[in-house]
Structures are given as C-alpha cells and as structure tokens.
Amino acid sequence: MTAWQQKLKPRLIAGYWSIQGSVPVLGRVRKQFPDQQSAQLESDKLTAKVSNAIAGGEIRETLLSKTQEADAHSALKILESNPNFPSDWSLAQVVTWAGNVYTNAESVRTIPEACKEWIQELKNLKRSSVHCKNMTQRITKFGKWFPGKNVSDITTENIRQWISDQDGNYGPFAGRQVSVTTRTNELTTLKSFFNFCEGRKFLPESPVDKSVKSPGINRGEIIALDLDKVREIMTIASGIADKAEAIPYFALSLFAGLRPHEIRPKDGLKQIKWEDFTWRKKESTLVISYAVGKVTSRRVIKLPDNCVAWVKPHAKESGPVIESSFAKWRGIKDLVRARAGYKVRGQHFKHLDPELAKVSDGQDRPKYVADVLRHTAISYYLEVNDNNKDLVANWAGNSPAVIDQHYRSLIKGTKELSPSDMVKEYWNIKPMRTKQSVVK
C-alpha cells in the first residue's frame, strides 16, 4: 500500500470517523462521517478516483478486486483473439450468449434439427450468407445419407468412410476421383458441426476425433507475375468501359496486396470503402478493419506511390470501391483475365465480348492462378523491403512464418534485369496521361 492510499484509509479521530491527508490529484482531504461504513465507502471511491487519474484513465464505475480485474483482462484478450466471436461483442454479450447455449442435460437431435440450430448459431456470429449456405448444403447432404439418424448415432467409422475415396466405402466420394482438398473441406465442416453438437449436449462426444486423419490439401505453387504481364493487365483494365472499378481492383491487388474478398466479396456486406482511405501528399493509407480482413487484427496498409497514382483518380467521398453486383463484377474481372490470355469460361462476360467468350476456355491457354495478383504484390514488397518478413507480414495481413515460407526469393530477375532492377521497375509502373498507356 502506497503512502497516499494509507492517508485515504478511514481513522477514528476525536470520536468521529474521518479521512484526512494530502494525496495526489485531490490535494488536501478533510472529511468526517457518522459511521465507519460511510467512511469506508468514501475511501474506496476516492482511492479509485486517484488510481484512475494517475493511470490516465476515466473514473471507474465499479470497484473490482485485483483477481477480478485480471480475470476480466484475460477474458477480453481471449475475446479479441478468437475469430468465432464478432469483433463488436462485449464480455456481457458473450456471457449472455453462453448462458443461452450451455446446458448440463443431454438433448436429442436429428441431423437436420441440429443443422438448423448450428446455422442459426453461425448467423448469430455474423458469418456470411454464402458461408451459411455452403455449410447448410454440406450437412443437408450428410443427413440424407443417414436418414432418421440422431447426431448421437453417428460413429467415427461413419465419418472415416464419408471422406474416403476408396471403393466399397459408404460415402459420396467412394470410388471417385475427388481432390484431397475437397475431402478435407468436408471433414472440416463435419468437425465444426459435431463440435457444436457436443457443446450443446446433443451427444456425449464428437465422432470426429483424432483418429480420423485429414486427407490433406493440394497446395498450388505460389508465383509472381513478370513485369510485362503486370503492365498488360493494367493496360487492359484501363481500356474497358468499367475501368472506374477495374483499375482500383487490379491496382489494389497488384500494388497493395489485397485479397479478392476484401475488395468485393460475394455477399457484398463487408468490403473496403472509399472512406477507409486517407490521402496524403507523403504517405496515403488504407485501413482494413476487423470485419473486412481475413485475420482478426486490424491492419493499416501504407499505399505505394504507384498504387496511389492508379487508384486516387477514381476515388469517391464514400461508398464501396466496387459498387457493381457480384454477377456484373465477375463478368468484368473475367473479361480482363481472358484478354490477358488466361483460360476463362466465357459465360460471365459473353455480353461484353462475344467473340472472345467463344475461345477463352481453350486448352491452349494457361490456367489463372488463384490470388496471383496478391502473391505478386507481396513478393515484390518483400524484395523492396530487404526481406523484412515482420514488416511485410503486417502490411499483407499474414504471419511472418507464412511470408518467409512462401514469398522469399520469388523475384529471380532476367538476363537484362537483376532482381533489384525488376523491383524498381515494378514499383514504378504507373498510368500515363494518355489513354490506355502504362509507364514502362
């Protein structure tokens, strides 16, 4: 106990309970009280007031013990780091939710009944409508293979056979050529569903235990585009009718490393908006909020100069960067990819370029690599920042380990250009004043 806390303790002086002494913030205190209880209550309030003022905080409304404060602090840390809870939930909301869902009694649910409650839980946690629809389809299919079964009737062997592609097993993939990624995604869904059922006491324990091994996933090779392809893509985006949306999308992907769903998700609910940008002469920035980004942490992206040069001319005061419906935007995006020479099905842009749509799915065209624009941005950003994986991880919204594993040394250089020369040219790719031109 500090000296000032000692001075704020009630004392019996000349027959009266009193608080007397000079303390920080309050100065000299001289108060008398009719009884010890009143004096102690005032002492607690004054102590809290001084403590908060010294710490630079606001006046506290509650007087928690140190153990209670530590417990609340730990709970807040768990809440902030857990992606299963909405970013705007308070501790009170989490406790209320837990009180509604927790029970000691075991209940009985069929697979469709449990699925309905699970999907409602996902909606309460603000999962996207697309995600909820996909989960509903998977569990509905699973339930049809086990009609009339309760979730407690499903065994570990049922799960093991469900994700197997071996002939003779009881499941939708048996005897079929199905990728390991598809089967792993199915297992992930079942694990989440049955963990929910276990938590709701619909069954003693989840049948998806450690003995059910994941089939694995097919990891695509991460590549970075060369300078000519980057210039080509930006030239194409600059030449189409919907360039006011195409240019910001491809520039933010190639020069700021944004994920596709951060710019234009399928449901259109959580995406970057023009008000997320701050335009400055020396350093413009873009804030990716908790709701928009893939990870639970907020990140602030320092926009490279060439990215600003592409995007700022199309900026508005507010509203989403991509205003078009997802169906329309998919057509615009596929058109740019097809004109860049990639293998793309023409059904989504045939109204924009009918002749190209007839041949864009040809076998002689290379397949478009998912997230190649983002991979390109991160690779060049890592090079220009001397392989500082911590800095780049924060910029890209990823972990240093992922940056180090996937993006280091992807820029090889050419006979004419060293890697450092390529990096310099990459970050100097800017629009020219003349139409449909890109600085080389």
Q: Which residue has the higher pLDDT, 149 or 437?
A: 149
The predicted model scores a pTM of 0.58
Q: Which residue has the higher pLDDT, 87 or 185?
A: 185
Q: Which residue has the higher pLDDT, 26 or 109?
A: 109
What is the bridge-based pairing of β-strands 27-33 and 299-302?
A: unpaired
pLDDT at 139: 95
What b/e readout covers 93-110, taking b as 16+ CB neighbours within 10 angstroms?
A: ebeeeeeeeeeeeebebb
CA atoms within 13 A on the CB side of 353: 19
Backbone angles phi, psi at 398, to 5 degrees: -145, 180
Q: Mapping DSSP to helix (H, G, I), strand (E, B) and coil, where does residue 38 land? A: helix
pLDDT at 17: 86
Q: What is the pLDDT of residues 240-287, one digit of tens each?
A: 988 899 999 999 999 999 988 889 887 767 888 999 999 998 899 999
Q: What is the pLDDT of residues 331-371, one digit of tens each?
A: 999 999 999 999 999 999 999 999 999 999 999 999 988 88
Q: State the Cα–Cα distance between residues 116 and 109, nearest whole angstrom.
A: 10
pLDDT at 90: 82
pLDDT at 333: 93
**Which one-letter DSSP state was computed for residue 274?**
G
Which pLDDT band holds residue 24 (cuts at 50, 70, 90)? confident
**Among 56-70, 168-182, 315-329, which is the least confidently predicted range?**
56-70
- pLDDT, averaged across the chain: 86
The answer to whether 382 and 398 have CB atoms below 8 angstroms apart is no
Spell out where 63-221 has E strands: none
- The CA-based diameter of the chain, rounded to the nearest angstrom, is 102
Q: Which residue has the higher pLDDT, 341 or 399?
A: 341
Q: State the Cα–Cα distance between residues 272 and 192, nearest whole angstrom.
A: 29
pLDDT at 218: 61
Show the tokens assigned to 220.
Answer: 């695509």
Amino acid letter for position 362: G
Q: What integer is the mean pLDDT of 307-332?
A: 92
Q: State the Cα–Cα distance between residues 206 and 147, nearest whole angstrom.
A: 19
pLDDT at 320: 92
**Left (φ > 0), alpha (ψ -120 to 50) or beta: where does 392 sit?**
alpha
For residue 138, pLDDT beyond 70: yes
The answer to whether 312 and 284 have CB atoms below 8 angstroms apart is yes
Q: State the Cα–Cα distance between residues 284 and 256, nearest whole angstrom.
A: 11
Backbone angles phi, psi at 282, to 5 degrees: -95, -40
pLDDT at 234: 96
For residue 50, pLDDT beyond 60: yes
